[in-house]
Amino acid sequence: MVTTEELNLPLIDPTIKGQILDTGVISFSFAPQIVFGYGCLNRIGFLSLFLKAKNAFIVTDAEIEKLGFPDKVQRYLEKSGIQSSIFNEVEPNPKEETVIKAAEKFKSSGSDIVIAIGGGSVMDAAKVIRLIARQGGKPSDYDATKSTIMAVHEQLPHQISIPTTSGTGSEVSIVAMVTSEKNKVTILGYPLISTIALIDPQLTMSCPPKLTAYCGMDALTHAIEAFVSLRVNPVADMFSLQAISIIYQNLKKSYSDGKDVIARVNMALASAIAGMAFNQKSVGLVHACSHQLSSQCNLPHGLANAIMLPHVLKINKKVVAPKYAIMATAFGISPQNNSSDNEIADKFILEIEKLNKDIGIPPRLSECGVKVSDIEVMAQNAIKDIAALTNPLQPITKELVESVYRTAL
Ligand SMILES: [Fe+2]
């Protein structure tokens, strides 16, 4: 239910250019088209033909290439009479230079479609490759957190995104992140969205336990942060609750037994559902903090989120405890007699800490090489992160962020 108070929330700072002003306006858009199913990779030729593709530029990374998935895509495309070439140089937290190089290759290859097969880094890189190839400039020119940015405005070439992990939601989102020197560049815009998300849970079966855990916690963080975000969208909230419930029931299973097909299918589904929720409502302080942990200290995105999540939940609790109580029901926590929202919220946070422990997430940032001397710069950058704008507790000050990092250290 939307309340008058919610409708009057000053959601986004209107002085920052390039941001969507949605004070009180609810926006519904759950593109792209999703094709989901175990083994559905074999539809890639048909779907590319449907988009009238003749020459595909396949974006991936070296690890995924070793698994043979891009070759498989090429064979399916060949059967449909579609030529293709492979760019396999995307690294984790993709660098600006890599994206620019790939955009040049995309243009010179004469390709008319981008097919991204890999994790979030690959799919994000592919979005920006299309942007740079069509609109020019470099990724940092489009940084949505800067006051002078190039707008993402042109119709971009088609992209089919094929995730090989369950968590990032990049296959359904309008956001892409790349790294310029040590800074995260956030690029936002509807033209970036994939035309089709082809989600084949079979491709996630070989995902190692650690990565399964990191990605799963990323998806859970998307669902939770979207649910408590300052933006208003009851449809997206249904998506969040469904994703939270599915992840809670399946993450431990897919972590402890990677061959559990049902758990893998459910996690792939939940990841996309959580992605659709945060695509509408954005995320919050967990992501603002974790972006810095990745760019400054090289922590994998999902790991950084998993460690920060309980700490941020604790500081946000004072403003959104009733929402935690609703999310707790998605965990199957039923309220005892006369238990307050605060008490249920505590149980919810405890359950997340237990889940982290069960899937091998270290409880402290210091165990991952983060030092006290890293905190100041990270906090300074995190307060400018676009994700901080929709965090329920405001204002997000440098002191507040420093204290959260310290508690998590
Ligand atoms: Fe994320």
Distance 278 CA to ligand 1 centre (A): 9
Q: Up-side HSE of residue 384: CA atoms within 13 Å toward CB? A: 14
Distance 301 CA to ligand 1 centre (A): 7
Amino acid residing at 157:
P
Residue 357 near residue 311, CB atoms below 8 Å:
no
Residue 46 near residue 100, CB atoms below 8 Å:
no
- What is the mean predicted confidence (pLDDT) over 142-163? 84
Give the per-residue pLDDT at 317: 96
Looking at the predicted structure, is the pLDDT value of residue 71 above 60?
yes
Least confident of 7-11, 138-142, 222-226, 342-346: 7-11
- What is the mean predicted confidence (pLDDT) over 159-182? 93
Give the per-residue pLDDT at 275: 96
Give the per-residue pLDDT at 147: 59
Distance 374 CA to ligand 1 centre (A): 21
Give the per-residue pLDDT at 338: 81
Q: Where are the domains of the chain?
A: 33-204, 207-408
Residue 274 near residue 297, CB atoms below 8 Å:
no
- What is the mean predicted confidence (pLDDT) over 140-159? 81
Distance 186 CA to ligand 1 centre (A): 12
Give the per-residue pLDDT at 5: 53
Of 117, 273, 90, nearest to 200 by C-alpha is: 117
* The dihedral formed by the CA atoms of 74, 75, 81 and 85, expressed in degrees to the nearest 10: 20
Q: Where are the alpha helices (DSSP H) in 68-193?
A: 69-79, 96-109, 120-135
Distance 215 CA to ligand 1 centre (A): 8
Structure pTM?
0.91
- Collect all residues with Cβ–Cβ distance below 8 Å to 245 and sequence separation of at least 6: 330, 331, 332
Least confident of 109-113, 334-338, 353-357: 334-338
Distance 305 CA to ligand 1 centre (A): 7
Give the per-residue pLDDT at 14: 41
For the stretch 387-403, pLDDT in tens is 999 999 999 999 999 99
For the stretch 10-35, pLDDT in tens is 444 444 333 344 455 565 677 789 99
Distance 286 CA to ligand 1 centre (A): 9
Distance 168 CA to ligand 1 centre (A): 5
Distance 211 CA to ligand 1 centre (A): 13
More confident residue, 53 or 1: 53
Distance 284 CA to ligand 1 centre (A): 10
Average pLDDT, the chain: 91
Q: How far apart are CA 65 and CA 296, in angstroms?
A: 28
Distance 192 CA to ligand 1 centre (A): 17
Distance 326 CA to ligand 1 centre (A): 22
Distance 380 CA to ligand 1 centre (A): 20
Distance 66 CA to ligand 1 centre (A): 25
Distance 222 CA to ligand 1 centre (A): 6
Q: How far apart are CA 385 and CA 258, in angstroms?
A: 34
Q: How far apart are CA 262 and CA 244, in angstroms?
A: 16
- What is the mean predicted confidence (pLDDT) over 119-129? 97
Distance 206 CA to ligand 1 centre (A): 21
Distance 308 CA to ligand 1 centre (A): 12
Distance 303 CA to ligand 1 centre (A): 10
* 56 three-state secondary structure: strand
Distance 282 CA to ligand 1 centre (A): 10
Distance 44 CA to ligand 1 centre (A): 26
Q: How far apart are CA 71 and CA 221, in angstroms?
A: 33
Distance 228 CA to ligand 1 centre (A): 15
- The CATH architecture one would assign to domain 33-204 is 3-Layer(aba) Sandwich (3.40)
Distance 253 CA to ligand 1 centre (A): 21
**Backbone region of residue 39 per phi and psi (left: phi > 0; alpha: psi in -120 to 50; beta: other values):** left
Distance 109 CA to ligand 1 centre (A): 32
* The dihedral formed by the CA atoms of 296, 302, 307 and 309, expressed in degrees to the nearest 10: 110
- The distance from CA 282 to its chain's CA centroid, rounded to whole angstroms, is 10
- What is the mean predicted confidence (pLDDT) over 258-276? 97
Distance 108 CA to ligand 1 centre (A): 32
* 128 three-state secondary structure: helix
Residue 279 near residue 271, CB atoms below 8 Å:
no
Distance 10 CA to ligand 1 centre (A): 24
**Max mean pLDDT range (28-37, 173-182, 257-266):** 257-266
Q: Which CATH code fits 207-408? A: 1.20.1090.10
For the stretch 189-208, pLDDT in tens is 889 999 999 999 999 999 99
Distance 84 CA to ligand 1 centre (A): 30
Distance 304 CA to ligand 1 centre (A): 9
For the stretch 296-314, pLDDT in tens is 999 999 999 999 999 999 9
* The dihedral formed by the CA atoms of 360, 365, 366 and 368, expressed in degrees to the nearest 10: 60
Strands 196-199 and 158-163: parallel
